[in-house]
Structure formats: C-alpha cells, structure tokens
Structure 1
Amino acid sequence: MHLDGPSRNGLASSERRDAIGVLVAGLNRLARSDVLDRTGLRKPAERVVREATRRGFGTMVAASRASRSFQRRGSSSAPGVRPASAPSSGTFDLTPTDDEQLLLEVARELAADVLRPAATEADDDAAAPDAVLKASLEIGLPVLGVPESLGGVAEERSAMAGTLVAEALAHGDLGLAVATLAPGSVATALALWGTEEQQQTYLPHFTGDDVPAAALALTEPSVLFDVLAPTTTAHREGDELVLDGAKSLVPRGVDAELFVVGAELDGSPVLVVVPSGLPGLDVTEEPAMGVRAASLSRVTLTGVRVPTDAVLGATDGTTYAECVRLSRLAWCALAVGTAQAVLDYVTPYVKERQAFGEPIAHRQSVAFMVADMAIELQAMRLLTYRAASRAARGEDVSRDVGLARQQCASRGMRIGLDGVQLLGGHGFVKEHPVERWYRDLRAIGVMEGGVLV
C-alpha cells in the first residue's frame, strides 16, 4: 500500500509511541522483579528505566518539533521596538533598583528552593526537570529583556537585571540556570535587534503561557574555534539564504523550536533566525563534562533554507559582535554565582572539619586559600557588574567584557579547583556538589552563546 508523506509520518509517530510504551512497560516489570535485588542490579535497572523514558519521549518531542507554526506577522522590515538605555547617574553605583531587588529576591528563592534540590539528578540525567522549567516561566524569565510594549517587563535595557538574575540562578546550579535562561536569551535578542515583522512573528510566543524552547547557537565543534569568525556559512540563492555548518553545546537543542544561529554571510558574521523542523536541520544530544543539566546538543545544518529577511540585526558584523559580548557577559554572571556557591560551601566546611585535634581552617595555608577565593570572587563580580552597567546604558563594552571574561574564566575555574582541594577526598565524590561546580566552571572559557543578558 502506498502512503503519502503525512500518513507515513503519522504512522511512524504512532509506531514510535507503541515501541516506547512496550519498552518502558517491560523495563518497569523487570525493575519490580526480586531478581534484581538478588543480583544487586536494582539501581542500574532503575537508572535504565528513567533514561529510557526520558530519551524515548525526547525522541517523540524532537519528531514533532515542527508542529508549532510561527506565522509571519507585520509588514515592515523597519527596526522594531527597542528598550531604552538606562539613565546614567555619573557614578559607579552597584545598588540594585527597587525593581531589580525584588526580581533578585525571587530569583534567589527559585535557586534555593527549586534549582539546588534538583541539580544532582538533573546532572545525572543531562536534562532539566519539567518542574524546574515551569517554575522559571512562572517568574517571567523569558520576558525579562522584552519591552513592556511587546508584552514583556523591561522598561529599559535589562543587562544589569539579567546579570543579577543569572548570578542568583547559578548559585543554585549553573546547568539549570542555562536551561531556564536559554529561551529568554532568544527573546532578548529579538527585542534588541529584531525588525518589526520578526518581533510580531516570534515574540508573542514568548510572552504567552506556552513558551517555546529556544537557543542561541554560536559555538562550533572545531579546533581553535574563533567565535568572531564562524565557519558556518550562509549564501544567497534568490530570496533565500542557504545555511551549512554545525553548532555544538547548544542548550536544550533537542527540544528547541527556534534557533538564532551565527553564520558568515558575504564575509561578515551575522545572526540568522532558524525555526526547527526545516529540511536539512539535524539535532542530536551532545552531553559534555559540565553544564549537563542544560541538555547540550549539536545542531547540524545541511542546505537549510530560510528567507533572506531571517537575518537578525545588521549584516556588517556589528550585531553579531554585540551579541557575543552580551553572551560572554551572561557567562561571567553565571561564573560569579557558581563561584559564590563554592565559597559558601567550603567556608563552613573548613571551620568544622577536624584534623589533628583542630579545625583545618586554623592552618594558614587553608585560611589563605579561602581568603584568596573571596578576593578573586569579588574581582570577578566587580568587573562583571561594571560591564553590565555600561551595557545597560548602551555604551561600548568591548574592553569591559574582555576584562570580565578573562577574570571569570581563569579565576572562576581556579576557585572551583581550590574548592575541590579544600574538601580533600570529599571534593572528588558526588556526595558533595563541589565537584559538579568545578566541572561547570570549566565551561566559562569554552562556551559561547546559549545565554544572553
């Protein structure tokens, strides 16, 4: 019997669900068997059940990602609505505004009550729990950088508020922070650089109840990768752009319904809006050493076609460069939050841990190491806040972001390493979270894109 395309897809989806159901049912029956207890395989079997269920439904979700339709709206290619620059007081004041303080308190509560308890399992599963993602939507993370006139909450550029929120969330867990911030990063990019048509087409999906997973894809799987010279290419064919290349370490890529991809067009790097489900777009899981809870993925583009007006912002490379800087600023904020978590954990530990009849904090080598961690952390925070405050005012932040990233990448990783060292053998085992924070902090100097403030 001949089946056309839609019928084949429907049949494949039905067969996939049936196969997954049979597999999971069989694994569940096996997990309830007392044979597992006698053979000592109880824990491995339960892990297989959990992983099979997650991967099975992840495959179903990936197969149906194209179900959301981003209907083109608006008729103007003119610049869309832009958030106003924050006013300058003429002083370097790090005191949060009343609105920022309220937002910060909510983010800290989410990090402590939701992200931190879920972090270990999320790291093991390489996926963020649905409860965590839903909680992030309830506090409005996706619309943090979207102007009020477009359904968001921003009265002015939100680089400072975004930095504070990213730091607070990373104190709970860096991987889950990336997973929760990724969709809002795409919405922020649309608010900063989108045309009127792009904003009307995509932003309503981020301001509603059913927020799509979305990702900013800049990193590439190549040796000595230079983010400002992407090897992914876009060339014109009539009224279309044809994209070829690969992106790696993309947060929540398997579930994403919308990507903002970095590519070279006419000799300059640009950002291109790419909906999922297009022919030639392939997404696979890519678990890494750290940031595992963000469900990192590889996105391969082979002859992917989008309209020429899918370019986001300027085509001369200036928008792309600004995006890179704001993304690096976000990673700096994540580094600060995670490094603070390390310091907060090891400080009471060294005061309570006894060796030779006294707390190990009484030894100068230990006390000096903790003091150095605190000093370097404050330098990371000050450099990051300065860059964020200048970005919020619309000023050139190339130098400020460069200094902050250098400090956060090198010293953040060192703080993670020192945290592991101070815990001794405890720093090497998963019973304590410091080993996970160390793995996450190593990503600061490697990851590009993914998040944005």
Structure 2
Amino acid sequence: MTDHGPQPVERELPTEEARDLLELVRDLVRREIEPEAAAQEEAGLFPRELFRLLSSSGLLALPYAEEFGGGAQPYAVYLQVLEELAAARLTVGLGVSVHTLACHALAGYGTKAQQSEHLPAMLGGGLLGAYCLSEPSAGSDAASLRTRATRSGDEWVLEGTKAWITHGGIADFYTVMARTGDEGAHGITAFLVPGDAPGLEAAPPERKMGMKGSPTAQLHFDGVRIPDERRVGEVGQGFAIALDALDSGRLGISACAVGLAQAALDEALAYTAERRQFGRPLADFQGLRFMLADMATQIEAGRALYLAAARLRDAGRPFSRQAAMAKLFCTDAAMRVTTDAVQLLGGYGYTADFPVERYMREAKMLQIVEGTNQIQRLVVARHLMGPESH
C-alpha cells in the first residue's frame, strides 16, 4: 500500500538561530497548545497564561529590535512561526499577530523615550495588546471614524466607541486611532491607552460563529484621559500609521490562514489514509487525490506569496500591494481548503468530533478581518491603475 499521510512542512529559515527557534515553537505547540486546543475553543476559553509563556519565551517580540527586548528576526521568519502557531490553534496565532500589530505604532513612530519606557514591557513583560481602528459605523471606511480625542492642557480626553476589537476587555494596552481634527484621513492621531484607564469599559464579547476562544468586543471611551506623552507620532499622522501597521498585519493574517489551511489538509490526509471504502484507503481514489493535490497547491502558493511579500518588507522595499494580494489569496485559499476538508471527511467532517468543521468556521473570519477581501481587491487595483483611480 502507498504511504499516505501528512508530511512535515519544509521551512525557509536562513540561520541556525531561526531553525532553533522553530524547534522551540514546535515543542511548545506539542506540549502547551495542541492538547487543549479543541476543548478550550469549544468552551470559549482564552489561554491568557499561554500568552504569558509566549511573552517570556520571546515569541511576542520576534520582529522587533533587540534594543527594546525584541527578537530581531526577519519578518519572513516571524511569519513562519506564526503559521505554526495558527496551525495548532488559530486563537493563538491570531492573538500573536494582533499583539504584534498593536506594538507596531510605538516601535515604528514612537520617540526613543516612549520606546524605552513602554516597549520592553509590551514585548517581553507578559502584557497583551490590542489594536483599535474599527468602529460601529467605520469598518472598511476607517477614515470616517468618530472616536474623538480633545486636547485638555497636557492631556487628551477620548470619547467614543471602537468595535470588533480582538482582545477587547482583556488587553493590557490598546493602540487607539482617534479623531483630533477635521473629517477625513488627516485628522486622526494614534494613542497608547492602558487597559485599566478610568473611563474605558468593554462591552460583553460578541457571540461569533467561530474563534470562540478569542474575545472580540466593543470598547467604550467615556472621558478617558491620556497624557500627551502617550500620543504616538505627530498629531494628524494616525491614519498613515494605521495603514502602515495594516500592511504588516495583513501578512500576519496571511500566515495564519496558511497555517489553518495546512491543519485542515493534514487532517484530511490522515483521515483519507485511514478510512477504507471498497477494500482500499480513500486516498487511493483518483478523484480524492485530485482534491488533496489542489488543496496542497493552494497552500504552497499562499505560503510562497506571503513569504515573497515578507522578503520585500525585510529588504526595506514597498510591499503594500503584495501584502494585499497575500491576504486576499491566502484567506480565500483557507476557505476553499477547509471546505474541501469537510467534504473529504463526509458526514464526520460535519460533526464536532473532528476539527475540520471548526477550521471552516474560523476560515470565514480571516476573509473579513484587517480589511475584507473586497477591500484587498480595491487596494491591489489602485496599485495597478495608479493613485488617481477610484
């Protein structure tokens, strides 16, 4: 009989340090994530202690500078670590991606004094971050956000509501975009808001079709006073900071999507190798082999696309178009692959006894977050046709 079953993913790791890092991650996944992933997701439990372990292990700081406690790893390495975490449990992979996104503004636009004061704790001090851009009436049209920050002496007073915030209500700090000027993109400023700031309250978590272990909630700012020292970047620079962060964040979502799809393929391979029909394994039937081949091809293509974009980022070259392409392709591929995995498992795939139905529900979310895939198509088209196109 032909040897069937999932094979280890070949990684593009440039150094011995990066290879050791991946072994650390795989060992952590086997010991700390995989055994409880399904039960915790079903119960809607967020693994807060695990994130403290990730922080102390340096896994919440990988792409940032050593000067402030970061791992100084290339983005291409960080994303492959993220893929491994997401394959084990998307709540964990996505959580690391969101935390990295929340640190981006301060790491890229903060003053040296701000970075020295806050980044070590954010990167390796056990803290968990969240990123606050979307609002109930400002999702894809983020430039129309209404949360306002009004200057009051040496402070800013924040009023408004943020929506769809991953880690909303449990984060230790929030990177918040608020309006400080006129309507439009140029009137927005970034702030670093402590999670326990007076006047900041979280609504009950949203009830979602998937990602039940990852809390998503609205945040209400009712006279939240923030010292000017916690303003990140220049007044009015917030929207540019937000878009810059989202380019990198979209690569994180891409890696998570590939990890989720890989987990679904591995499950399908294991099932079709073991399940027998008409006297032979399902994996020996040509029609099912073609499905598996298509799934694997989409995963490899997505991985190559996000790594190509990451290499551009690591080289200091523009990568916004490629990030949008990667987010679009990888998350659409994850939706197709997880749906096919459910189909390959037949009736079992539709039950909660196997993880592929959860993977399919989780994949849907990835097509929506950090810019829907319709928005990614707009971004790509504008790059192709020039900035004056609409």
2:112 paired with 1:196: yes
The structure 1 residue matched to 2:147, chosen from 226, 233, 237, is 233
Structure 2, unaligned stretches of length 5 or more?
1-10, 372-390
2:19 paired with 1:138: no
State how 1:176-195 maps to structure 2 within 5 Å. 176-195=92-111
Q: 1:393 to 1:151 in 2, by over 3 A?
A: same
Q: Which moved more, 1:231-240 or 1:316-325?
A: 231-240
* RMSD (Å) for aligned C-alpha atoms: 2.5
**TM-score (structure 2 length as normaliser):** 0.82
Return the letter of the residue paired with 2:358.
Answer: R
Q: CA deviation digits over 1:36-86, x for unaligned, max 9?
A: xxxxxxxxxxxxxxxxxxxxxxxxxxxxxxxxxxxxxxxxxxxxxxxxxxx
Q: Secondary structure at the match of 1:254?
A: coil
The structure 2 residue matched to 1:301, chosen from 216, 221, 229, is 221
State how 1:382-421 maps to structure 2 within 5 Å. 382-421=304-343
1:357, distance to aligned residue in structure 2 (A)? 2.9
Q: CA deviation digits over 1:304-334, x for unaligned, max 9?
A: 3323443323533322211111111111110
Q: 1:277 to 1:95 in 2, by over 3 A?
A: closer
Contact 1:111 1:170 in 2 (8 A): no
1:130, distance to aligned residue in structure 2 (A)? 4.5
1:384, distance to aligned residue in structure 2 (A)? 0.5
The structure 2 residue matched to 1:328, chosen from 247, 250, 253, is 250
Corresponding position of 1:67? none
2:388 paired with 1:430: no
Q: Which moved more, 1:403-412 or 1:260-269?
A: 260-269
Aligned length: 353
Return the letter of the residue paired with 1:420.
Answer: V
Contact 1:261 1:272 in 2 (8 A): yes
Corresponding position of 2:162? 247
Q: CA deviation digits over 1:391-420, x for unaligned, max 9?
A: 122221111011101101211111111111
1:182, distance to aligned residue in structure 2 (A)? 4.2
Q: Which moved more, 1:158-167 or 1:279-288?
A: 279-288
2:87 paired with 1:171: yes
Q: CA deviation digits over 1:267-302, x for unaligned, max 9?
A: 324432111233332113224222222233321223
Structure 2 Cα separation of the partners of residues 398 and 207 of structure 1: 25
Q: Secondary structure at the match of 2:143?
A: coil
Return the letter of the residue paired with 2:172.
Answer: E
1:241, distance to aligned residue in structure 2 (A)? 3.2
Return the letter of the residue paired with 2:192.
Answer: V
2:34 paired with 1:116: yes
The structure 1 residue matched to 2:76, chosen from 160, 163, 167, is 160
Contact 1:219 1:448 in 2 (8 A): no
Q: Secondary structure at the match of 1:263?
A: strand
Q: CA deviation digits over 1:146-175, x for unaligned, max 9?
A: 322223332x6x422221111111111111
**TM-score (structure 1 length as normaliser):** 0.71
1:256, distance to aligned residue in structure 2 (A)? 1.6
Structure 1, unaligned stretches of length 5 or more?
1-92
- Identical aligned residues as a percent: 32
